[in-house]
Structure 1
Amino acid sequence: MEQTNSSFKQEKTQTKDWAYTLHHATRATHEDWLGRSISYTCIGIIILVVASMLWFITSKGIATFTQNHVNVWQFLSGTNWAPDQGKIGALPMIVGSFAVTFAAALVATPFAIGTAIFMTEIAPKRGRKFLQPVIELLVGIPSVVYGFIGLAVVVPFMRHLVGGSGFGIISATFVLFVMVLPTITTMTVDSLRAVPRFYKEASLALGATRWQTVSRVILRAATPGILTAIIFGMARAFGEALAVQMVIGNAAIMPKNLVSPAATLTSQLTTGIGDTIDGTLPNNALWSLALILLLMSLFFNALVRVIAKRGQLSHER
């Protein structure tokens, strides 16, 4: 009798254990399903928002060519921008945007690479602790502050140095140089730190100097990451609006030189979008400029992915 009771209690205990395990397994499965559902819902919302933005800007941008029957080539190659008169040549803004972007990247890249090398290979810990907050501070400064500094310092300086009004591509280049410098520097620092340590140790063990190791080993290994940093900086410069608008002059004409007033795609958008009526040619033309900006952003992102993929393949080899 006692043996029967003990076996009955044992079976009852096992049943409770199985029920407890099954309950927790069911609860874990339910939580896992709930977590995946929330994740997929958030991903779906993000995809929907991005797709909606792409569709909205694209539909607005092509209205110039479908509704107003403007030739695409004439729009891209025309040099006269007077939408009220039916003239919508976007070439001056396109040239201005690329000129400012490439000039800012060209000026900022040597400073960024030099700062990154100093922070990762030369500076002591105190130097790194000092430079890192300075770079982060530059990132956090609003664009309007950069614009005011450019308006109060850069423009008068250029006016005194080369004459004229002081507004132009060169003034916008100096402002954008300071704005994109933290982006390129930070990403370059990450790229240099991602280089395997044994690369440096092997180079030094073979008798190379520190500068030979940095220039011929570390920089070459970090080249894909540095190129990615430069492209990100160019994307930041290409899409900047407020700071550039305050110092470039906002003249929708073909720039003759670096000191003549010009306009970019973003500056023309910000100054003209509030003075147009939806559905009219001037409004549609501005949306076409926005479409060009969108396509350039997609191009920069695709270029970054290509460089990153090639960098992975080179490291695998």
Structure 2
Amino acid sequence: MKSARAKSKIWIERRGRMVTLLCVAFMVFVAASILYFVTSKGLSTFVINKASITDFLFGKDWDLGKLDKEGKPVVGALPMIAGSFAVTLFSALICAPFAIGGAVFMTEISPKFGKRILQPVIELLVGIPSVVYGFTGLSLVVPFLRDHFSGSGFGIAAATIVLTVMILPTMMSLSVDAILAVPASLREASLALGATRWQTIYKVVLRTARPGILTAMIFGMARAFGEALAVQMVIGNSAVIPKSLMEPASTLTSILTMGMGNTVMGQVENNALWTLALILLLMSLIFIMIVRILGRRRTFE
């Protein structure tokens, strides 16, 4: 009987390992397939259509139906790349102080109020679809900027405001987790040495949780960089480098969502859009690598 039970347990463990291995192999296969497909389609602009990589990354003219003097497509993606980085950086710079301040309030100053009131609100904001944020920005932010500043209201400023609200719950939630991971013994030791609560928060808690907070900032920037629908509704979708924050601009995602449904697979226009998708994929991989590096640093510290 014992040997039969032991064999049954061994078989169950082996079966569990096989199922787990198959699931992991399937996920790796899907990820590798996506990476291969996007890379192969994205490189078609340079391999098949003979476009210049330098002109694509640093060119300022985006006209998919036009050819230059050498017969190459006019696909200068610098306005979209600059727009994506501008919106991402501005929204992260504005959102970071609010996210860190809210996280400190929820964990160190008023933890009971934070858990009962603020935590459900943050979770609710995370679950709101991006189209709702975009429509709200289109109905409130754009008219406000148009009435109180020069321009039509569409532009990087409107997109930055919308993205700031969108990534705030993500940054705040991850910052809360990073601060809660700080051992209570460090707080007690700081207070025992005569430090005030604010000195303990600033000198001990935030410095110890800094890698986790930086990870939260990177995650927020990754979401802002890849956001499509909300940005498309408020940025103006003009493939030019704006001279001010109030002028219409464009991002990689806004041009992709506008043009992908109007192109034919294999044509120059479609290949150029796939190249934009490849840039987005590479930027996502870079964000993931940064997060992993910060995670390793936090583990070592």
Aligned to 2:33: 52
Q: In structure 2, what is the equivalent of residue 209 of structure 1? A: 196
Residue 293 of structure 1 is matched in structure 2 by 280
The residue identity in structure 2 corresponding to 1:61 is: G
Which entry has the higher C-alpha Rg, 1 or 2?
1
Q: Distance in 2 between matches of 1:141 and 1:127?
A: 20
% same residue: 58
**1:66 paired residue number:** 47
Q: Which residue of structure 2 aligns with residue 187 of structure 1?
A: 174
**What does the per-residue CA deviation read over 1:199-241, in whole Å, with 9 as the maximum and x for residues that have no partner?**
1101101111110110111000000000000000000000000
Show the 5 A alignment for 1:94-173.
Answer: 94-173=81-160
Q: Which residue of 2 aligns with 1:306?
A: 293
Structure 2 counterparts to residues 213-224 of structure 1, below 5 A: 213-224=200-211
For 1:194 and 1:124, locate their aligned partners in 2 and report how far apart those are by CA, in whole Å. Answer: 14
1:32 aligns with 2:13: yes
In structure 1, which of residues 66, 75, 81 is the aligned counterpart of residue 62 of structure 2?
81
Alignment TM-score, normalising by the size of structure 1: 0.92
For residues 10-29 of structure 1, the aligned pairs below 5 Å read: 20-29=1-10
1:143-172 CA-to-partner distances (Å, cap 9, x unmatched) read 000000000000000101112110000000
Distance 1:126 1:260 in 2: 41
Aligned-partner Cα distance in 2 for 1:283–1:127: 48
Report how many residues are paired. 295
2:245 counterpart SS class: coil
Q: Give 1:276's match in structure 2, choosing from 242, 254, 263.
A: 263
Gaps of 5+ in 1: 1-19
Which amino acid counterpart does residue 38 of structure 1 have in structure 2? V
Q: Which amino acid aligns with 2:53?
A: V
One-letter code aligned to 1:119: M
Q: Which 4+ stretches in 1 moved above 6 angstroms? A: none
Which range moves more in the overlay, 142-151 or 21-30?
21-30
Q: Distance in 2 between matches of 1:75 and 1:106?
A: 28
Q: Structure 1 pair 32/124, CA: closer, same or farther in 2 (3 Å)?
A: closer
Aligned equivalents of 1:28, 1:227: Cα separation in 2: 44
Asked if the contact 2:106–2:118 (Cα under 8 Å) also holds between the matched residues in 1, the reply is yes
Q: 1:124 to 1:231 in 2, by over 3 A?
A: closer
Aligned residue in 2 for 1:9: none
Deviation at 1:29, TM superposition (A): 1.2
Moved more, 254-263 or 100-109: 254-263
What root-mean-square deviation, in Å, do the aligned CA atoms of Structure 1 and Structure 2 show? 0.7
Q: Could you give the per-residue CA deviations for residues 23-79 of structure 1, whole angstroms, max 9, x where no partner exists? A: 111111111111111000000000000000000000000000000011111100000
Amino acid in the other structure paired with 1:278: M
Q: Letter of the 2:176 partner, please give it.
A: V
Tell me which of 220, 232, 241 is aligned to 2:228: 241
CA deviation after TM superposition for structure 1 residue 128, in Å: 2.7
Distance 1:311 1:73 in 2: 38
Q: Structure 1's 75 and 147: CA in aligned 2 closer, same or farther, altered over 3 A?
A: same
- 1:124 Cα deviation after fit: 4.7
Secondary structure of the residue aligned to 2:65 is helix
Q: For each residue in 1:240-265, what CA deviation from the matched residue of structure 2 results, as whole angstroms up to 9, or x when unmatched? A: 00000000000011121111100000
* One-letter identity of the residue aligned with 2:25: G
Separation of aligned partners in 1, 2:111 and 2:4? 57
SS of alignment partner, residue 113 of structure 1: helix
Structure 2 residue ranges without an equivalent (≥5): 67-72
Q: In 2, distance between residues paired with 1:218 and 1:123?
A: 15
Q: CA deviation at 1:125?
A: 1.2
